Amino acid sequence: MATERTFAIIKPDAVKRGLTGEILSRIHKAGFSIIAIKSKWMSIGEAQGFYAVHKARPFFGELTQFMSSGKSVVMVLESENAIGKWRDTMGATDPAKAAPGTIRRDLGTSIQNNCTHGSDAPETAAFEIAYFFSGHELV
Ligand code: ATP
Ligand code: MG
């Protein structure tokens, strides 16, 4: 299986609750390399652009308000099968339905406040990485 990169966010709910270190520790233990990382307070426009795929969904307004409500940590992670592996490490979108031992199950508080984001396919990973990072940050 080939080395792959994915895009990850520690969302504002987790940053505000002081969970950044715990989540970074889980990322290291799962075997990812952190290729790039920075703190980012998204504007509402940046959040709307990032989640544009969900703009017709009833929760879009609430989601983009939430994602622009404070600082996030945005990252590029690398490993074999990084996209699927990071989604497995996070667990299902709704913490109540996520498997025990996953980030969302252990640390998430609601379907919206679910601590982390992960790309869902190679095309979305490429879009999301380029949305927040320039080429010179990805060497
Ligand atoms: P993400 O894209 O953040 O990694 P995901 O791919 O597991 O999460 P999506 O369906 O893409 O889930 O939803 C994007 C985000 O929108 C979710 O992570 C969550 O924060 C929020 N969300 C999803 N469904 C709901 C809902 N029914 N009510 C409120 N917020 C929701
Ligand atoms: Mg998604």
Asked if pLDDT for residue 1 goes beyond 90, the answer is no
Give me the domains of the chain, ranges plus CATH numbers: 3-41+72-138 (3.30.70.141)
Q: How do residues 13-27 score in pLDDT, each as one tens digit? A: 999 999 999 999 999
Q: What value does the mean pLDDT of the chain take?
A: 98
Res. 2 pLDDT band, cuts 50 70 90: confident
For residue 69, report the distance from its CA to the centre of ligand 2, in Å: 19
For residue 115, report the distance from its CA to the centre of ligand 2, in Å: 13
pTM above 0.95, yes or no: yes
Among 9, 63, 85, 123, say which to mutate for ligand 1: greatest number of ligand atoms within 8 Å of CB.
Answer: 63
Round to whole Å and give the CA distance between 77 and 73. Answer: 12
Q: For residue 132, give the nearest of 55, 42, 28, 5 by alpha carbon.
A: 42
- What pLDDT score does 130 carry? 98
Asked if pLDDT for residue 135 goes beyond 70, the answer is yes
Round to whole Å and give the CA distance between 90 and 107. Answer: 10
Give catalytic status of residue 117 as yes or no. Answer: yes
